Chain A
Amino acid sequence: DVKVTQSSRYLVKRTGEKVFLECVQDMDHENMFWYRQDPGLGLRLIYFSYDVKMKEKGDIPEGYSVSREKKERFSLILESASTNQTSMYLCASSWVGYGYTFGSGTRLTVV
């Protein structure tokens, strides 16, 4: 089975900190995605990548950046964490035209 591993299940960070969320997949998938999930808003796409060093903005990229130096790893970076970035963050990977495989999520709290 494809595995998508997110490095932390729970994180607590202070306002203004630089935060790194890591995601690794083990099936050579081309596409990787970062979503945030909030009650009443569903899943919202932050950034995605369809190849190494390639990235595209999703629907809510403000305050975030990403890095994809290797095919299996896709990092989400909060340049200066703010309380409105408290959320569940979900990473996913896929082949073109197929459904996603999701990680277990990272619940980030910014205090």
Chain B
Amino acid sequence: GNSVTQMEGPVTLSEEAFLTINCTYTATGYPSLFWYVQYPGEGLQLLLKATKADDKGSNKGFEATYRKETTSFHLEKGSVQVSDSAVYFCALSGSGGSNYKLTFGKGTLLTVNP
């Protein structure tokens, strides 16, 4: 079945540091890939997505590229802010049929210090 593995947290960075959160996946066919963010006390929000190989999703300074050859979708940001402190989830949805369910990674807690 489908699965998502993302780096264990917590990750602690200083403001303006470079961020990478690794995400790899296992899936049949051609899944769509997503990053979600959860701020304290809230539900999850879609951060960015990519629907086919070599697509780059981007939003709010965050980027991730769909790499089929390495089955990866790593999240990056060049300069993090305190307001980026949150839990980040990588997810995939399968292709076709009833594969509209999302499979999530376990989440990575990011703390950015001033």
Interface size on B, residues (CB 8 A): 20
Q: Is the CB of B100 within 8 A of A31?
A: yes
Instruction: Give the residues in chain A near B34, CB-CB below 8 Å.
Output: 99
Q: Is the CB of B107 within 8 A of A105?
A: no
Q: Is B111 an interface residue (CB 8 A)?
A: no
Contacts between the two chains (Cβ within 8 Å), count = 51
Main secondary structure of the interface of B (DSSP, over half): strand
**Residues of B with Cβ closer than 8 Å to A?**
32, 34, 36, 42-46, 49, 89, 91, 93, 98, 100-102, 104-107
Q: List 17 A-B contacts (CB under 8 A).
A: A31-B100, A33-B101, A40-B106, A42-B89, A42-B106, A43-B104, A56-B98, A92-B44, A94-B100, A99-B32, A99-B46, A99-B49, A99-B93, A99-B102, A100-B44, A101-B46, A104-B43
